[in-house]
Amino acid sequence: MNKHPDIFPRAAGKIYLIGAGPGDPELLTLKAVRVLGLCDVLLVDDLVDRAVLAHARPVARIVRVGKRGGCRSTPQAFIERLMRRCARAGLTVGRVKGGDPFVFGRGGEEMQAMARAGVSCEVVNGLSAGIAVPASLGVPVTHRDLACGVTFVTGHARADGQPGREADWPALARCGTTLVIYMGMRTLDVITRALIDGGLPADTPACAIQNGTRGNQRSVVATLSTLATAVSAAGLGSPAIVVIGEVVSLADAASGLDLLHESARMSG
């Protein structure tokens, strides 16, 4: 007889990769709400609004595993190890991420890690910030008169220095699509200069939107050549989405979301 029984059940657990949407907790999907109520443990990213956790079980264990550029972050290896450990202990685990787990959220990496460990894993999609945040400003990322498509790209290179991980800005300057840039605020001046050097017109409409879809959303609308200066003058920072392309000309200056509209189309 085992004198020291496990404190957790022995049945196989499961991992849910849950997208919490772009910020506004009302933009959660119905499936995300249901699955949050199933979980024994929730590993929650830093950008997830606290109101999302109102849908969790009262007894669920909440573990903050924040990841923010320029801030102290929970190591990815630790997060994946904790996911495996909890699932093998028979627990239902929700890995809660801002936006969609598979759009710059490391959801793909975590699904691969769970597959290697033989742990069941399911994705619960969320509304991506790259679509919802521009929309909150009246900017459609595609419009048949203004863009042939949209390209989502990160402005943050991997810290491990692996080749081929940085965006090819000159190529993107020529692609003819709306550019939606995640994690690009720290290098915005470098990015905009690279796009102009690559041939994208300096007067291309551009905007940056901080804390998108939240009550404290702030934004700047300018041009490609003036965006970095306008963002600095307005004191905008991360988290933010940058949108570059003719669709930004449709930005709603009367949106009531503390829009700082730089009518600069201002001369440099």
Q: Residue ranges per domain, the chain?
A: 14-127, 130-261
CATH superfamily membership of 130-261: Tetrapyrrole methylase, C-terminal domain (3.30.950.10)
User: Does residue 258 carry a pLDDT above 80?
Assistant: no
Q: Strand 61-64's sheet: what is its strand order?
A: 61-64, 41-44, 92-97, 14-19, 120-124
- Return the closest-CA partner of residue 206 out of 170, 174, 248, 259: 248
pLDDT at 202: 98
**Got the DSSP string for 121-190?**
EEEE----HHHHHHHTTT--S--TTT-S-EEEEES---TT--TT-S--HHHHHTS-SEEEEES-STTHHH
φ, ψ (nearest 5 deg) of residue 154: -95, 140
Catalytic residue among 40, 45, 49, 100: 45
Neighbours of 59 (CB within 10 A): 6
Q: At what angle do helices 76-88 and 107-117 cross, to 10 degrees?
A: 40
Judge whether residue 179 has pLDDT over 60: yes
CA 139/CA 134 separation, integer angstroms: 5
Single out the catalytic residue among 83, 111, 114, 183.
183
Neighbouring residues of 196: CB distance < 8 A, sequence distance ≥ 6 = 173, 202, 224, 225
Q: Strand 120-124 vs strand 14-19: parallel, antiparallel, or unpaired?
A: parallel
Predicted pLDDT of residue 107 = 94
The superfamily (CATH) of domain 14-127 is Tetrapyrrole methylase, N-terminal domain (3.40.1010.10)
Q: Which of 14, 49, 67, 97 is catalytic?
A: 67
- Structure pTM? 0.86
Q: 262 by DSSP, 3-state: which? A: coil
pLDDT band at 242 (very low <50, low <70, confident <90, very high): very high
Distance CA 161, CA 154 (A): 15
pLDDT value at residue 73: 74
The question of whether 46 is a catalytic residue gets the answer no
Q: Render pLDDT for 50-69 as a digit per residue (tens, 0 to 9).
A: 999 999 999 999 999 976 55
The gap between the terminal CA atoms of the chain, to the nearest Å, is 79
Q: Is 97 designated active site?
A: no
- Between the CA atoms of 234, 239, 241 and 242, what dihedral angle is there, to the nearest 10 degrees? 50
H or E, element range at 113: helix 107-117
Does residue 258 have an active-site annotation? Answer: no
